Copies of this chain bind each other. A is one copy, B any other.
């Protein structure tokens, strides 16, 4: 049971390492089986070389362990809060990938400076508010989820599958664990390029609404015409 979910989550975690976006045991990917109400997530503090599907920890949406001998990622309450609030999300990824983390540490959103971002993210990558002392000291990981959810008031998380947690780093998501990882890979590229862009031109503004619409919607809209005839799941 949950075999497919375990494997998808394990594979997505390992892909993070293959993409050189994590070192040691940093980062974690989870996935959800909505019909079963079960979330699978990487165990805490385990390095990627040791990961196998049977080591994934299974929990319900309230955080009760269903299966698994290991302790789940310490960031689990953040993942669960996102699953509870972003109902179309099927996988979540958290890393300290350097480019995105530079921006998160600066408490600055990443402006949509070009079509590379617009192909995946419908606008600038939002950054959360800085967390209060109280929110840090009590239920920190749950509150990390809450500041993300609060930042997404009025934003469709499926059109903006990434956020920067201020002073911390990125969380990304997607329809599946693999797509959550893809969001991280692309986020890292656009974060790195955005740093170069503001170095070249500190006054550069974001692209026009027309260009954002064109690129985002040619891949993701009803009338998408990128790819092989089937609009990419979004």
**What residues of chain A have their CB less than 8 Å away from a CB belonging to chain B?**
23-26, 43-46, 70-71, 74, 96, 98-99, 101-108, 113-116, 130-131, 133, 136-137, 140, 167-169, 182, 185-186, 189, 192-201, 204, 207-208, 210-211, 214, 218, 225-229, 232
Contact = CB atoms under 8 A, between A and B. Distances in A.
Nearest to A168: B115
Contacts of A136: 208, 210-211, 214
B105 A70 contact: no
Contact of A45 (B43, B189, B227): B227
Please tell me how many copies of the chain the complex holds. Answer: 4
6 nearest CB pairs, A to B: A45-B227, A102-B196, A106-B201, A106-B200, A105-B113, A105-B114
Contact of A226 (B74, B107, B211): B74
Contact of A185 (B23, B104, B200): B23
A45 B232 contact: yes
A74 B225 contact: yes
Contacts of A208: 130, 133, 136, 167
A151 B167 CA distance: 27
